[in-house]
A = this chain, B = another copy of it.
Amino acid sequence: MSALHQLVPAPWSFSAGTGELVLDAGTTVGADPELSGARRWLSRALGAATGWDLAPVPPQEAGIRLLLAPALDAEAYRLEVGDAVVISAGGAAGAFYAAQTLLQLMGPAALRQAPVAPAEAWPLPRVRVEDKPRFGYRGTMLDVARHFMPKDNVLRFIEVMAMHKLNVLHLHLTDDQGWRVQINRYPKLTETGAWRRESSLGSWRAGVFDGRPHGGFYTQDDLREIVAFAAERHITVIPEIDVPGHSQAAIAAYPELGAGDGPVEVWTRWGINETVLEVSETSLEFYRNVLDEVVDIFPSPWISLGGDEVPLTQWQASAQAQAKAAALGLDDVSGLHSWFVGQLALHLQSHGRATSVWDEIGDGGLPDGALVASWRGYEGGIDALRKGYDVVMCPEHKLYLDHRQADGDDEPVPVGFVTTLQAVYEFEPLPGVGNEDLPGRLLGAQANIWTEHLDSPRRVQFAAFPRLSAIAEVFWSNPENRDYDEFLNRLSGAHLARLEAMGVEYRPLEGPAPWQKRPGVEGWKRDYDAEQLVRN
């Protein structure tokens, strides 16, 4: 119903009250039992930033009160700062978002991990905010396969996502260039698959390599920690095990999985790869076993099987693939793609999980109950909605944060379409559909952070922010309450300072700092052409 308070409450949401409330070291926090997670998080975050000991007390006696208001939606909240701070929330998530808004109101220092100055008191403006999100799925995809991101940095990334009230982290855990999840049954997936000899430097088209080994992986306990840390912040982690393309790291570890001839190494270059899985009982059995361990780590209702970018070359050249397609009654080997994904989706279904896929799968047939992530523009998603599927929009020409943020040569390794801050702020997930009645559900949208050219957490931060701040607002608020100039004012006036306080090395609005540039490293610029959406 109402607009965003992602960044700071819009003026119209302030009450007529004057003056301010002063929080001090004696502040107490009380919560209805169902909201105790939000109280604990708030006490920890506020305790870290202020150095205070925020004692818990029964809700009615507290300086900060978190109360359950069943009339509100689970993610909705009302925040009133009067003689006390009163948070009324539909559920635990709503209370958590209210706590985030409260920290935002206290100024950037409230987002630091230790007090920058010993403060006896912290003033709060008297306000009344009532808010809830537009979409239930507000996602970010992080590619930790192309460049591994150490666990500590993933946890911090989640903390920053939570500040932005995003609630889905899609972790791209496997690809041609690396396998990042420990699988107990198949140790070579990480022994062999978790590292590569070297990497393309810039666009693979330049043919330049860096000569530097790269690798790393998460243990199962690391991933359980990531999942639990995210869950405390109301973020669902969706793991992606990409099949039947983007699988060369797995094939390097277990050559019997491959459709081609002879062994391969973990891929060292970027781009679309002809190496694909063999569609066989051996591969299916292998991946079923992998997924058994994956579902045990990730409680997410969705598990992603990827399914993007599968060249047919190896299957076309393979007698086994031809025979398999014939045996399955398929017209040709192209049908193997969605058949293979479908088999694994059935296995996930037996675990009570739905399958998330990239929209290519829709070219064949979608698994029952699939969630379709529409990246090749809007069409795959709209088509899936027409067929009654759940959809998340993440069109490449709109929401790919590895794409260059400005024209010109200053952007580091400039690839893809120019995707400015303003452009992402103006994103709409269903343009041009009009009043068409679509049987499927549009769950929300997702910004994708591919990391071929983002080789460190610092580079990820540069690519993601502040565009992800704009996107978070788009995912939360209704279009009629958005105005880019007003957003820019709030960004410069308050929000960049919050990012700075959280240690985020965002891209300055005026362009990259000198040390954020990458002179001499070739990118691959594209201009938007709906007919030619090819990943670089």
Contact = CB atoms under 8 A, between A and B. Distances in A.
A520 B211 contact: yes
A121 interface: no
Contact of A51 (B112, B194, B216, B232): B232
A40 B47 contact: yes
A310 B47 CA distance: 45
Contacts of A518: 212-213
Contacts of A231: 114
Contacts of A48: 44
Interface string A499-536: 01101010000000111111110000000000000000
Given A56-B53, A457-B150, A513-B215, A228 B195 contact: no
A229 interface: yes
A490 interface: no
Contact of A229 (B56, B114, B215): B114
A214 interface: yes
B116 A221 contact: yes
Contacts of A216: 458, 505, 515
A155 interface: yes
Interface in A227-270: 228-229, 231-232
A114 B195 contact: no
A36 interface: yes
Contacts of A117: 224
A51 B113 CA distance: 19
**3 nearest A-B pairs in the assembled complex, by CB-CB distance:** A215-B515, A114-B229, A114-B228
Interface of A: 36, 40, 44, 47-48, 51, 53, 55-56, 109, 112-117, 150-153, 155-156, 194-195, 211-216, 219, 221-222, 224-226, 228-229, 231-232, 456-458, 500-501, 503, 505, 513-520
17 contacts: A36-B53, A40-B53, A55-B56, A112-B221, A112-B225, A114-B229, A115-B225, A116-B228, A150-B503, A155-B503, A194-B515, A195-B513, A211-B520, A213-B516, A213-B519, A215-B514, A215-B515
